[in-house]
Amino acid sequence: MPDRSMIHLDRVTKVYPGTVDPAVEELTMDIQEGEILVLVGPSGCGKSTTLRLINRMIEPSGGHIFFDGEDVTDVDPDKLRRRIGYVIQQIGLFPHQTIGQNIATVPKMLGWDKKRTAERVEELLDTVGLPAAEFRDRYPKELSGGQAQRVGVARALGADPAVMLMDEPFGAIDPITRDRLQNEFLRLQSELKKTIVFVTHDIDEAIKMGDRIAILGERSVIRQIDTPERILAYPVDDFVDDFIGSGSTLKGLNFERVSGLALSSYPTIKVGEAPEKGLRAMDEANREWTLLLDREHKPLRWLRRTDLQRGAGDMTKRGQHIRAEVEPNATLHDTLEEMLNESTGMCCVVDNRGRYQGVVEISDLTEVIRRLRTEAKEHYDALETVS
Amino acid sequence: MDGLLSWFDYVASNLDDVWEATVQHASLVLVVILAATLFSVALGVVVQRHSSARQVALSIAGIFLTIPSLALFALFIPLVGIGNPPAIMALFLYALLPILRNTVTGLDEVSPAVVESARGMGMSSRQQLLKVRLPLAWPVIMAGVRVSSLLVVGIAAIAVLVGGDGLGTFIQGGLTRLGLPGSVESVWVGTVFTVLLGLTLDLGFAAVQRLTTSQGLRI
């Protein structure tokens, strides 16, 4: 990702008339081109206000907003908003217009000709997975919640804005549909590479959607802003720690993959080989188990010392069936899940053709967690030294 | 039975006059409704978001409705003389409340999320009003127009007392000659044709309401 600031907030402040305490206090923040920055925080922390300050739905009381290097604090807000996609939780489709007319709203305001607008509508419906022929002439009342939200996203993308602001866009949708929409949106974003500011109160959604997460405290003060991995590994203070809640270590394992581990070598024996070979390997490695592989190098059974001591013969009936098996691209979270189901407490790693690659043990995971923490701590220590 | 037959006889022998009075009555109503709609919608848009102003506007429009019609018609004679003008002015005041009230209610009922998204996409206040808020409030406004038109059709019969025309002429003519031949029939002609005109106008406005309301808003 090129490190180019797309949106720059410079000491932006919002004080509502009649109040003393600012809702947003001297917020300075950069949003890089092409990233999803998630604003997350407890309710009332001003995250929505912050989002709405960016497209000046709320006028800042102080500070400056830069948009692609241009100071937009005083430009015509309507013109500014036509350059920024905006998606809200309640979607707000125009019920009196067809889906096609809804999506064409901004292109029409920008004076696109009919042909170009129609093509764009078709393209966008296609992008969000709603066949144009079927949906273009329908009205919003005929859509399910998930479909309406897709149209909401398509409408925000109408004139291909570089920046999108999304205020809890999937907040009012049932968990299963929400998960699907989140995945679809991430896939879409991997192609579109928009600069996105995304507000949510749900830390899990923030971890899933964010390239970076800004955890906001009262008055929209940034408590920590970083990648989800680093925030999970190293919450800077109790506020952030409390907000992430329990299970942050487990959540952190979602970002690490088996392929990133140095797999420990493990005693193995092939079908047809002498049991003594296995016993010797176990002695050398000082292990309790050995892994039986077939002729194609695929894991078959876990064998104990006693299984081998029964002498030569058909070993495929001895020992324990292998329950836990993952491929290198599996996350460590999934790997742990597999391990918990395996009485040996170990997980076999196989390549995409099922051939044995190595074994993951619980100590490998604790090692990763320790490394993540150390790296994150070093990162923050280095930042402190600089400042 | 005799009464009904003689009524039909009366209508048949005075067909031209009845038709002319009905057309006059209808045009009186339509002029009033058109003017009251333009005025009330504009006023409604202006006051809707200001709670004190809308209270004042709705109260005044309500007071107009409580002024006895006879008095209200007469009040305008010193200003504009006799004939249709005082009638139009009085009827205009009567027609305001239902349309004004429904305009305000209709605009209130527009989902804030819809307005928020319109604003968020960069629609100016004017575009939000003309392209989103009024089209969404329109079915409710038209319901108010229909109520006003029914109200005005009935009250317009009084126009005759200030020198106006319309179906009131048959009622008043009959009443002043009560007891003489054809007087009762005359009163009934005025009454029945006023009711029929009211129903016809309501059907007409219902059709307009349907044609001007987006398919996406129909239930």
**Whole-angstrom distance, CA of residue A268 vs CA of residue A302:** 9
B216 lies within 8 A of chain A by CB: yes
Contact between B173 and B128 (Cβ < 8 Å): no
Q: Would the CB atoms of A91 and B124 count as touching at under 8 Å? A: no
Contact between A34 and A195 (Cβ < 8 Å): yes
Q: Would the CB atoms of B122 and A106 count as touching at under 8 Å? A: yes
| Domain B2-214 = CATH 1.10.3720.10 | yes
Higher pLDDT, A121 or A374: A121
CATH 3.10.580.10 domain locations along chain A: 259-366
Ranking A21-30, A83-92, A244-253 by mean pLDDT, the lowest is: A244-253
Indicate the pTM of the whole model: 0.83
pLDDT band at A154 (very low <50, low <70, confident <90, very high): very high
**Whole-angstrom distance, CA of residue A103 vs CA of residue B217:** 18
Q: Which residue is it, tokens 């407890």? A: A42
pLDDT 10s digits, B130-171 = 999 999 999 999 999 999 999 999 999 999 989 888 999 999
- The structural domains of chain B, with segments of one domain joined by +, span 2-214
Residue B76 has pLDDT above 80, yes or no: yes
Structure tokens at B90: 């009085």
pLDDT score at A387: 66
Residue A1 has pLDDT above 50, yes or no: no
**Whole-angstrom distance, CA of residue A361 vs CA of residue A194:** 40
Name every chain A residue with its beta carbon within 8 A of the beta carbon of B135: 96
3 state SS of B121? coil
DSSP character at residue A354: S
**Whole-angstrom distance, CA of residue B102 vs CA of residue B86:** 26
**Whole-angstrom distance, CA of residue A6 vs CA of residue B10:** 83
B43 lies within 8 A of chain A by CB: no
Other Cβ atoms less than 10 A from the Cβ of A353: the count is 9
Q: Would the CB atoms of A78 and B123 count as touching at under 8 Å? A: yes
Of the candidates A86, A93, A94, the beta carbon closest to that of B120 is on: A86
Alpha-carbon torsion, ordered A79, A80, A82, A87, to 10 deg: -140
Contact between A255 and A331 (Cβ < 8 Å): yes
Name every chain A residue with its beta carbon within 8 A of the beta carbon of B212: none
pLDDT 10s digits, A280-304 = 888 888 888 899 999 899 999 999 8
pLDDT score at A276: 86
Q: Would the CB atoms of B114 and A94 count as touching at under 8 Å? A: yes
Structure tokens at A108: 């029409």
ipTM above 0.90, yes or no: no
Least Cα distance to A64 among A6, A11, A4 occurs for A11
Contact between A234 and A209 (Cβ < 8 Å): no
The CATH homologous superfamily for domain A259-366 is CBS-domain (3.10.580.10)
**Whole-angstrom distance, CA of residue A196 vs CA of residue A32:** 9
CATH 3.40.50.300 domain locations along chain A: 5-245
pLDDT 10s digits, A324-351 = 889 999 999 999 999 998 888 889 999 9
Residue of A nearest to B219 (CA): A141
Long-range pairs for B210-217: beta carbons < 8 A, 24 or more residues apart: B212/B138, B212/B142, B213/B138, B213/B139, B213/B142, B214/A95, B214/A96, B214/A97, B214/A139, B214/B135, B215/A139, B216/A95, B216/A96, B216/A97, B216/A98, B216/A139, B216/A140, B216/A141, B217/A95, B217/A96, B217/B136, B217/B138, B217/B139
Q: What is the mean pLDDT of residues A247-263?
A: 86
Q: What is the mean pLDDT of residues A261-288?
A: 86
The CATH homologous superfamily for domain A5-245 is P-loop containing nucleotide triphosphate hydrolases (3.40.50.300)
**Whole-angstrom distance, CA of residue B111 vs CA of residue A153:** 19
B212 lies within 8 A of chain A by CB: no
DSSP character at residue A265: P
**Whole-angstrom distance, CA of residue B176 vs CA of residue B191:** 15
Residue of B nearest to A97 (CA): B216
pLDDT band at B1 (very low <50, low <70, confident <90, very high): low
Q: What is the mean pLDDT of residues A188-195?
A: 94
- What is the DSSP secondary-structure string of A12-30? EEE--TT-SS-SEEEEEEE
- What is the DSSP secondary-structure string of A191-224? HH--EEEEEES-HHHHHHH-SEEEEE-GGG-EEE
pLDDT 10s digits, B12-34 = 888 899 999 999 999 999 999 99
